[in-house]
Amino acid sequence: MTALSRWVQVLDQRAQQNLAETSQARERLEHTRSQLDRLRSMADSAGVKKLHANVALYANAAGFRSGLLDMAEQCRDTFGVQQLEYAQAQAQLQAAVRQHGSMQSVLERARTDLAVQQQRQEQKRMDELAGQTWQRQRRLSDTGNR
């Protein structure tokens, strides 16, 4: 029983650890998503259409926009990897929670079975004491009637 209880504690700790890892993965994912949105917004606002009159400004704005789009592409790749990491973390968390729940129910069943067994033993002991008392009382009454 003690080993099973310890195992359930270990599984609970694993589930808590997986929850923390999932939370961290979600935070990284959200950070990257907001970073990607900012890069896209900056690239969209770095318009080069109005700068045709000045070639130097046009080239500078085009280079800046191109750099932003390259950074956004790298960020998108990172975002894809982080989505996979988050999905894996969620799957591991769900598996850990299921395993913990399963072993928790096994532990509760074992505790219930033990309590029932102890109750039966106590009842048996009480029945034996009652039987011994009844036999003594019967012997005393039989001795007293003679």
Predicted pLDDT at 144: 67
| Alpha carbon distance 107, 6 (integer Å) | 10
**CATH class (in words) of the domain with range 2-144:** mainly alpha
The answer to whether residues 35 and 28 touch, using CB atoms and an 8 Å cutoff, is: no
Going by C-alpha positions, the residue among 83, 72, 68 that lies closest to residue 30 is: 83
- Residue by residue, pLDDT tens for the chain (146 residues) are 788 889 999 999 999 999 999 999 999 999 999 999 998 888 777 665 555 556 666 667 677 878 888 898 999 999 999 999 999 999 999 999 999 999 999 999 999 999 999 999 999 999 999 999 999 988 888 776 65
Predicted pLDDT at 140: 84
| Alpha carbon distance 39, 67 (integer Å) | 10
Give this prediction's pTM.
0.66
Give the domain ranges of the chain. Answer: 2-144
Q: Which residue bears the tokens 């390259």?
A: 70
